[in-house]
Amino acid sequence: MNLSYRIYHVFVRNLISYKRFVLTTFLVSLVQPLFYLITFGIGMGAYMTGAFGGKSYLHFLVPGVIVSSVMMSATFECLYGTFVKMIHERLYDALVATPVSAEDAVAGDIAWASFRGLISGSLMLLVAAVMGILPVSPASVVLLVLVMLITGVMFGSLGMIVTSLAPNFDFFNYYTELVITPMLFFSGVFFPLDNFPAWMKTLAQFLPLTHAVAISRAAFSGVFTSGLLLNFAVVLVLVTIAFYFGIRRMKKRLIK
Amino acid sequence: MSTLVSAHALTKKYGTFTAVDGIDFEISEGECFGFLGPNGAGKTTTVRMIHCVSPVTSGTLIVDGLPASVNNRALKKKTGVIPQEITLDIDLTVYENLVVFARFFDIPKREARARIAELLKFVELEAKRDSKIDQLSTGMKRRLLIARALLNRPKLIIADEPTTGLDPQARHLIWQRLRQLKTQGVTLILTTQYMEEAQQLCDRLVVMYQGKILKAGEPRGLIESEIGKDVAEIRVPADQDARLIADLSPFACGHERVGDTLYFYSRDGHDLRKRLVELDLPNTVHRPATLEDVFLKLTGRSLIE
């Protein structure tokens, strides 16, 4: 891994280019999760009173929707965003001819994807706050930001692995439809995993989003159990593996 | 002059395909060195190894005293690359493109600002400072690529087919700028498939074909040793070859037929020209020999002598 502080230079490049897209992406980042909150949270939630410890369904839903919006933003950034830069704009070719290494360039884009995820998640947090749903304390806001950043790096890195293998845009459909969408339903975002058969619960433990959702939910409920440490440990292990392979695979594609 | 780049048995393989096949060359400081060859000859692969974006499969490649390798940031720091493809950042303006790249080279902000102003002037793009990339013509994009390659005041500049797809005006402007750089003492490595370009710019060159170096030398010297001074092209049906060859051979050092044309090469064009005038043949061109003749001879056809 030939990583250096130049990751930051790549991040700044993305930040400068972002100002041209900032409005549209803000809108896109907001609309889908907002749609979930309104339809599931308010519409469906009305039929589920009393099921969530006396609180409304929205209280259950918000922490999950926040991290899943981080997942979506980071994923799309490292799929379509990176693919365009790599194949259509040939920007990576120009980058690696400077002292920026291929590893720096890819890591810079993962860092950027994580930041984009943080923006999406924070926008959701803002909407939730307006609806009266807030993390329990300033410390749990810090925890939430941390889990959003880690989730961003996680799905940015996984996206890089997919992009490193992609011959064209269509290839991304397999990943989004077969991995990301199911992840959304099996990670306890919309409903608790309690009523799943045992094997499904076991399967869910291997999904990175499950653990991110659990941590996010603790930040809102204020219930910190020892299980949370396990969630953190799993997320950190998975993010390390994903980051390592994301960069390695991409380097293989970029440097021939 | 000291050697800046030296390659011995340099080889690059992609799987079972050999793109560069054990070549040797040396490039001196301050010269313009050309890699000439058709598409797929291995020119771009060779220069990509020199500027450290493609790993060497085997052999040695030393640039400015250091082995060229993908992780060699020190070498990348003193190299400027004008790529074959337009790899500008289309999300950014002209000015932002240069600002971002100056960051990649760790050039301090204030210095970068002065340098960018100077370079925009050098490539005549001051008026386009705040334009988006898609508002530029191809010639302007190529000029911006040159400015970008010069940000770090490189010791070595690599220009990979820098004028592909340009109109004559734009091409000449780029040649002028590259020559200007040479007078400032920069070492220039050029790949091209345009013979005129090689003749205009290169002090020395190698002709590459199928991953190998076929010939090396100075453009003039190569033309004289491989072809001679002049070429006569005579467009006649093949059935007249025997008669013409018998008639013109005493004045020529070689001849060959390609398609509808019979070529005669000569070291002293005077007598050949005189004889051609006497024969008064239709469809005849008599002209100085060029690198193109060398190139076609080396890569396509063989002389019958």
Q: Does B87 score more than 80 pLDDT?
A: yes
Say which amino acid occupies A126. L
Ranges A111-120, B81-90, B250-259: which has the least confidence: B250-259
Cβ neighbours around B10 below 10 Å, total: 25
- Is A17 in contact with B99 (Cβ distance < 8 A)? no
CB atoms within 10 A of CB A233: 11
- A112 within a domain of the structure (yes/no): yes
CB contact under 8 A, B87 and A89: yes
CB-CB under 8 Å, A97 with B53? yes
Shared domain for B239 and B179, answered yes or no, is no
pLDDT of residue B279: 83
Q: Average of pLDDT values for B30-54?
A: 93
Is B267 among the domain residues? yes
Of A9, A12, A99, the CB nearest to B73: A99
Q: What CATH number does the domain containing B167 carry? A: 3.40.50.300
Residues in CB range of A192: below 8 A, 6 or more apart = A60
Residue A71 lies in a domain: yes
Residues A78-117: b if buried by 16+ CB within 10 A, e if exposed:
bbebbbebbeebbbbbbbbbbbbbbbbbbbbbbbbbbbbb
Contact B53 A2 (CB under 8 A): no
> B265-274, long-range: CB within 8 Å, 24+ apart, which pairs?
B265/B227, B265/B228, B265/B230, B265/B231, B265/B289, B265/B293, B265/B303, B266/B228, B266/B229, B266/B230, B266/B231, B266/B232, B267/B224, B267/B228, B267/B229, B268/B229, B269/B229, B269/B230, B272/B230, B272/B232, B272/B248, B273/B230, B273/B232
Query: Are the C-beta atoms of residues A73 and A120 closer than 8 Å to each other?
Result: yes
For B78-109, the DSSP string reads: TEEEE-SS----TTSBHHHHHHHHHHHTT--H
Residues of B in contact with A93 (CB under 8 A): 53, 83, 85, 87
State whether B53 and A94 contact (CB < 8 Å).
no
Name the residue range of residue A247's domain.
Answer: 6-254
Q: What is the predicted pLDDT for the residue at B303?
A: 41
Residue A1 lies inside a defined structural domain of this protein: no
pLDDT, averaged across chain B: 90
Residues of chain B neighbouring A90 (CB-CB closer than 8 A): 83, 85-87
- Chain A hits for B104, Cβ within 8 Å: 6, 9, 95, 98-100
Q: How many domains does chain B have?
A: 2
Nearest CA-CA distance, residue B294 and chain A, Å = 32
Q: Are residues B156 and B24 in the same domain?
A: yes
Q: Which domain holds residue B249?
A: 228-288
CB contacts < 8 Å between A and B, how many? 72
Q: Residue B133 falls within a domain, yes or no?
A: yes
List pLDDT tens digits, range B196-234. Answer: 889 889 999 999 999 999 999 999 899 888 888 889 898
| Whether B79 and B172 share a structural domain | yes
Smallest CA–CA distance from A96 into chain B, residue? B53
Is B211 found in the same domain as B135?
Answer: yes
Q: Give the number of residues written for chain B.
A: 305
Cβ distance of B71 and A94 shorter than 8 Å? no
| Residue after which a domain boundary falls, among B197, B218, B239 | B218
Q: Which residues, 6+ apart, have CB-to-CB distance to A77 below 8 Å?
A: A109, A112, A113, A116, A117, A156, A159
Same domain, B85 and B185: yes
3-class DSSP state of B24: strand
Chain B closest CA to A95's CA: distance in Å? 8
Examine the fold and report which residue of B199, B218, B237 is the final residue of a domain before the chain moves on.
Answer: B218
* pLDDT > 50? residue A79: yes
Helix or strand (DSSP H, E) at A31: helix A22-36
**Chain B contact set for A9 (CB, 8 A):** 100, 103-104
Question: Hey, are the CB atoms on B100 and A13 less than 8 Å from each other?
Answer: yes
**pLDDT at position B227:** 86
The Cα of B193 is separated from the nearest Cα of chain A by a number of Å equal to: 22
The 10s digit of each residue's pLDDT in A10-31 is 999 999 998 887 888 778 777 8
Most A CBs within 10 A among B20, B48, B53, B158, hence the mutation to make, goes to B53
> Does residue B294 belong to any structural domain of this protein?
no
Question: To probe the interface with A, which of B100, B135, B141, B152 has the most A CB atoms within 10 Å?
Answer: B100
CB A103 within 8 A of CB A251: yes
pLDDT in tens, B60-71: 999 999 999 888
Instruction: Determine, for residues A91 and B89 on separate chains, whether the beta-carbon distance falls below 8 Å.
Output: yes
Domain count, chain A: 1
- pLDDT of B15 > 80? The answer is yes
**Which CATH number fits the domain that encloses residue B273?**
3.30.70.270
Cα Dmax for chain A: 61
Confidence class of residue B302 from pLDDT cuts 50, 70 and 90?
Answer: very low
Give how far the C-alpha of residue A239 lies from the chain's centroid of Cα atoms, to the nearest Å: 11
- CB atoms A255 and B53 under 8 Å: yes
**Same-domain status, B147 and B239:** no
Rounded to two decimals, what is the model's pTM? 0.90
Chain B residues with CB under 8 Å of a chain A CB are 14, 51-55, 70-71, 73, 76-77, 79, 81, 83, 85-92, 96, 99-101, 103-106, 148, 152
**Residues in chain A within 8 Å Cβ distance of B53:** 93, 96-97, 255
Residues B165 and B272 in one domain: no
CA torsion sign for A95, A96, A100, A105 is: positive
Do B134 and B198 reside in the same domain of the chain?
yes
Taking alpha carbons only, the member of B27, B4, B20, B5 closest to residue B57 is B20
* Pairwise CA distance, residues A108 & A6, whole Å: 8
Same domain, B144 and B282: no
Same domain, yes or no: B232 and B212? no
Q: How confident is the model at residue A247 (pLDDT cuts 50, 70, 90)?
A: very high
User: What is the amino acid identity at position A31?
Assistant: V
Q: What number is the average pLDDT over the span B2-24?
A: 95
User: Could you tell me which residue, B137 or B292, shows the higher pLDDT?
Assistant: B137
> Residue type at A25?
T
B37 and B58 belong to one structural domain: yes
Question: Is residue B301 one of the residues assigned to a domain?
Answer: no
For residue A12, the chain B residue with the least C-alpha distance is B100
Task: For tokens 């890591």, name the residue.
Answer: A107
Q: Residue A179: which residues within 8 A CB-CB, separation 6 or more?
A: none
Last residue of a domain, one of B218, B249, B279: B218
Strand-pairing partners, residue B212, are B209
Are the beta carbons of A161 and A251 closer than 8 angstroms?
Answer: no
Check CB contact under 8 Å for B106 and A99: yes
pLDDT of residue A216: 95
Instruction: Find the CB nearest A93 among B73, B85, B91.
Output: B85
Q: Which residue of B has its CA nearest to A90?
A: B87
Question: Which is higher by pLDDT, A23 or A4?
Answer: A4
The backbone torsions φ and ψ at residue A157, rounded to the nearest 5 degrees and listed phi first, read -65, -45
Q: How far is CA B82 from CA A91, B48, B135, B191, in A?
A: 13, 11, 20, 11
